[in-house]
Structures are given as structure tokens and as C-alpha cells.
Amino acid sequence: MSKLRIGIIGLGTVGCGVYKTLADFPDIEIVKIAVKNINKPRSVNTPEGMITDNHYEIINDSSIDVLVELIGGVEPAWEYISAAIKNGKHIVTANKELLAKKGEELFNLAEEHNKVCLYEAAIAGGIPIIMPIKTILAGNNINKIQAILNGTTNYILTKMDVDGASYEDVLKEAQELGYAETDPTGDVEGYDAAYKITTLATLAFKKRVKLENVYREGITKIRKEDMAQANEFGYKIKLIANASIDEDGNADVRVHPMLVSNDTTLAHINYVTNAVAMSGHPIGSIVLSGPGAGEFPTASSVVGDILAIQAEFGTTDYMLPMMRCHHEHRANPVHIDDTYNKYYISITAPNAIGVIAKIGTICASKNISLASILQREVSENNTADIVVITEKCQERLIKEVVSELDNCVVNSLIRVAD
């Protein structure tokens, strides 16, 4: 087995975890680590001279075999990675945003230079998902994914559920504990999960999904009343990354909150844990769950990718053939208005009399069946709180229903998982 020489870009939480984990692997030599600020305090002690703030000391060092990119974001990561590939280096990256936005260019460039670009750590942290799809599941046509891919939002939703607390209160607490960032937008608005499902769906469906075709809705409008109501109906509310593809290659890929039944594994995935449920033929359905982030779980995936490169490095002209990504075909996007879902609708009606009849009439006029309907005690001022769960219907029609419910306040409209 050849000794593999690697350069690491970025020495934050994950970088430190990778550094510590690689200490057990004497056949992998960390030659250089490039960071923005050399003087920042870190949880590892690196040998004199190993750290640089000149990233090109790695990129231009022809003795380095692999660039491990752990800085995130599109630029300058793309500049560094593309230069490194052109300079003959294999890539290991945890960069979900880059993959979602530049995946096609990245993998084409890598193939052009006969290099591999591995990215297990970019999706679902420590959970083994990317390499298994590429290898042992390669005989499958996967056509459906439902996944919890963002730990911050799952933490917030779990706390809201367990404590009966509001989104705002739990967010504040999560920020204090370091589970949510000062600007939480990337997580709570679903961007992070959208990046991940874009890449995961592309790989699983063997057709390129474009980020701009991924519908996205965050969790900021979920009310504690919705959590309580969902519980009563036997559901939890989770931020679910969904992807499905039909036989004609139409891919419906989206991230939004969903009610998921307590009968499913996803309903029991709590706090910062992530999970990926997939189905297809011949395998049927599987669920993989585990830590979606963190120093060591993410390091497990980064190091796994490095070890895969090491195992075949120098032994063949075309390394790791199963682990390459070249998706020539594109998925056809499906607009959210054209999708079919079940819906949870929470309504406050100013005048309780006749409102159930009105809802029923409007839904019936659009051929929408109601699975459950619950009217709370009418308050003194004669307003009524009503919760409806519909059977499957087209998103376009449910929007019409909502707009026709004049005189009512629609508090929440949340999709319900099958």
C-alpha cells in the first residue's frame, strides 16, 4: 500500500477531527494544512511549519496526492479545488453548497483529469450513505428518498415538541447552546437541506437535479399549536428533504416541514440526529440514521473517503471506478404546484356556524377528500379553531382552497408524509 500524502484546507471543527483521527493511520501523511488565520486557537497541536495561510503551498505541491477541502462555501473553495484537480490531485470534500451549485462542473473536471472527488461527509455527516449508494446498492433503481438532513432544525423541532415551546424561544436556546448559528437562515430556511438533497437525489436517481428546481420552505412558521395538534393526530413535524422520481425521469425534489406518522422511523429521529429513508427496486425500503454533524462523526466520513483513495492509489490506471460521478442525464423538474400531497390545515374561523360545512363544500368542489377534521370548542366570541387533514390532492388545488376560505384565518398549511 502506498503512503498517501494529503493536504487539508480548513482546520475548524471537522478539520481538527480529521487531524486527530488520522493519527491512527501511519500510512497517511498530512503534509500541509492551509487556513485563513494561522493564529486562531485550535484543539490540535500541529508540527512546526505544517500550517500555512498560503493555500497554493498545497495546490502547487506536486508531491501531495489528495486535497481535503473543509472550508465550505462556493468561493474560494471552488478556486482551490479546481486548481488542485488540474494539478493532479484527488479531492475529498465536505462541501454541500459547492456540490449543489457546482457539482456538474466539479465531477466533469475530475473525470477529465482522471481524478476522483469523494464527498461522504457533505451529506448526513457520519451516516454511511454516499459510498453505499455508489457501491453495494448499485444494482438498485432508487426512486424515493425522505430524509432529515439538517441537525439544527431537527433539534429545534424536537425541543418545540418535547417542551411545548415556541420556535422563537427554542431558537434562542439553540443559539446559546451552539446548535444554531447567530444568523440561522441557512439552516432554518432549509438551504442546507436543499443543498444536500440536490446532491443525494442526483446520485441516487443517476440523473442530475438542479438546485434551482428544488422547492424549499423553512420551519420558521411552525407554531407550537401545530406540534401539539400533530401529536394528537399521531404525527411529529419534521423538516423533510423529499425526492422522488417517476419512470419518465420527472424528479420531484423539495425541502419543507411535514407531518410524519409515529409509525415511521423518521418520526423518532430526534435532536441533531439525521436519517435517510430510501426505497427502490430490488431493495425495498431502508433507513439509515446517525449523527449528521460534529467533529468526529464528520471525520469518520472524511477519513473513510481518504482510506478509499489510499487503498487503490497507484495500483491501477482507473481508480475506484464505482465511486465516480458522471451523470449525463438530467432529471425533469416537477413544479411544486403539480405535486400531490396530503395536507394539514389549521384554520381559525370568526364565525363557528357553518364553517365546517363551508370547508367541506369547497374541498368537495375540487374533489378533495378529508381524512380527519377536528373542531375545537367554540370560544366566547364565537370563533372556532378547526384542523383538517386531507387525503392526497394536487398542491394547486389546495392553494385554491386556502384562497377561497375567505373570512377564515389559515394559521398553517403543512404537508403530510404518505
Residues carrying an active site annotation: 196
Interface with a second copy (CB under 8 A), residue from 29, 312, 391, 400: 312
Q: Of residues 66-125, which lie at the interface with a second copy (CB under 8 A)?
A: 120
Asked if the bond preceding 76 is cis, omega within 30° of 0, the reply is: yes
Residue 183 interacting with a second copy (CB under 8 A)? no
Q: Which is nearer to a second copy, 281 or 399 (CB)?
A: 281
Rounded CA separation 103/195 (Å): 11
Determine how many CB atoms are found less than 10 A away from the CB of residue 147.
Answer: 32
Closest distance of CB 84 from a second copy, Å: 22
* DSSP label of 128: -
Interface with a second copy (CB under 8 A), residue from 9, 59, 260, 308: 308
Interface with a second copy (CB under 8 A), residue from 76, 234, 321, 350: 321
DSSP characters for 165-228? Answer: --HHHHHHHHHHHTSS-SS-HHHHTSHHHHHHHHHHHHHHHTSBPPGGGSEE--STT--HHHHH
Residue 178 interacting with a second copy (CB under 8 A)? no
Strands 215-216 vs 250-261: parallel, antiparallel or unpaired: parallel
Rounded CA separation 81/90 (Å): 9
Interface with a second copy (CB under 8 A), residue from 316, 328, 377, 407: 316
Grid-cell match 502547487, residue found:
60
Closest distance of CB 122 from a second copy, Å: 13
Closest distance of CB 126 from a second copy, Å: 5
Q: Is 120 helix (H, G, I), strand (E, B) or coil?
A: helix
Q: Which is nearer to a second copy, 272 or 401 (CB)?
A: 272
Is residue 373 within 8 Å of 356, Cβ to Cβ? yes
Interface with a second copy (CB under 8 A), residue from 199, 289, 341, 390: 289
Rounded CA separation 126/295 (Å): 10
Residue 417 interacting with a second copy (CB under 8 A)? no
Interface with a second copy (CB under 8 A), residue from 39, 315, 381, 407: 315
Q: Which of 7, 12, 71, 8 is CA-nearest to residue 41?
A: 12
Q: Which is nearer to a second copy, 66 or 211 (CB)?
A: 66
Residue 307 interacting with a second copy (CB under 8 A)? yes
Judged by the rule CB under 8 A, the positions of this chain that interact with a second copy are 1, 17, 20-21, 24-25, 120, 126-128, 130-132, 135-140, 265, 268, 281-291, 294-297, 299-301, 303-308, 311-312, 315-318, 321-322
